[in-house]
Amino acid sequence: MHKDIATPVRTKEILDKYGFSFKKSLGQNFLIDTNILKRIVDHAGLTEETAAIEIGPGIGALTEQLARRSRRVIAFEIDQRLLPILADTLSPYENVKVIHEDILKADVRQVLKEEGEEGSELMVVANLPYYVTTPIIMKLLEEKLPIKGIVGMLQKEVADRITAKPGTKEYGSLSIAVQYYTVAETVMGVPKTVFVPQPNVDSAVIRLMVREEPAVKVKDEKFFFFVSRSSFAQRRKTILNNLTSQLPDGKNKKEQIIAALKAAGIEESRRGETLSIEEFARLSDELYPIFS
């Protein structure tokens, strides 16, 4: 067995050897606790059949654990300075492919095709860069990639928003967007002390298992998301006020919005954060003929 990358001593050795300095703009924080990495991989439920997609492998700490437990790892790394380091640290593992590309710009489906992984059982497992967590998760879900799920470490506050239930202050359009596609849960908390450099915030690991069918059936997906976002435009306002101000020509269509709310069985005095995903689906279907 090779020495684990994710120990304070080995991490320091690797960084010193390459004279690597952290880039704040890339949100680089490396994990230096092997047990936590192993637990993250446990939560992903990988088998010898599974291929893992990793985003931002850093110096390969999580990649190494994934390589030991999955059939293959495809890792996307944006920072060119890390490529020689990864080539070195991951040299014992023949089942790892590092792709030098920004995941947000990458054609992931095409990459999977080129790598012969299109029909595979795929899990995304990543210590996500905090400054672009939400766009990455939404890209993976909106592109309807052939993945079973995502196990990701992210800022605790974002994890709370993603997994929030109606009626809580964390619940918002992000909760609805992610829970529309997945069953979302927080599986563990991670203290800031297990990273170098130490971030200012606590982290959490979430597991998002992609649903066979979206949580609700809607006439138009884009419009459904637009209605849910509009309903949270100003959290203190009622759903009626938010929809009137956010929907195109809403002020002149106020009576129709009131009628749509009534038809969906939603009191116009309620706030967006009290509506369930099912209520948003009914509401967007009632509003759709008026605004499409």
Question: With 0-12 CB in 10 A as exposed, 13-18 as middle and 19+ as buried, what is 89?
Answer: buried
CB 264, CB 274: distance < 8 Å: no
What DSSP designation does 25 have? G
CA-closest candidate to residue 231, choices 153, 290, 175, 157: 175
Is 31 one of the annotated binding-site residues?
Answer: yes
How far apart CA 218 and CA 264 sit, in angstroms, is 13
Contact residues for 275 (Cβ-Cβ < 8 A; gap 6+): 166, 231, 239, 266, 283
**C-alpha separations of 233 from 215, 242, 272, 286 in Å:** 23, 6, 9, 20
Q: What angle is formed at CA 79 by the lines to CA 75 and CA 81, rounded to 5 degrees?
A: 110
Distance CA 149, CA 126 (A): 11
Cα 134 to Cα 76: distance, rounded to the nearest angstrom: 17
Please tell me the distance from the alpha carbon of residue 162 to that of residue 27, in angstroms, as a whole number. 20
- Residue 35 annotated as binding site: no
Alpha-carbon distance of 52 to 79, in angstroms, equals 20
29 marked among binding-site residues? yes
Q: Which DSSP helix (H) or strand (E) runs through 64?
A: helix 61-69
102 annotated as ligand-binding: yes
What's the token pair of residue 63? 């990649």
Partners of 207 in the β-ladder? 151, 185
Indicate the annotated binding residues for S-adenosyl-L-methionine.
29, 31, 56, 77, 102, 127
Indicate the annotated binding residues.
29, 31, 56, 77, 102, 127
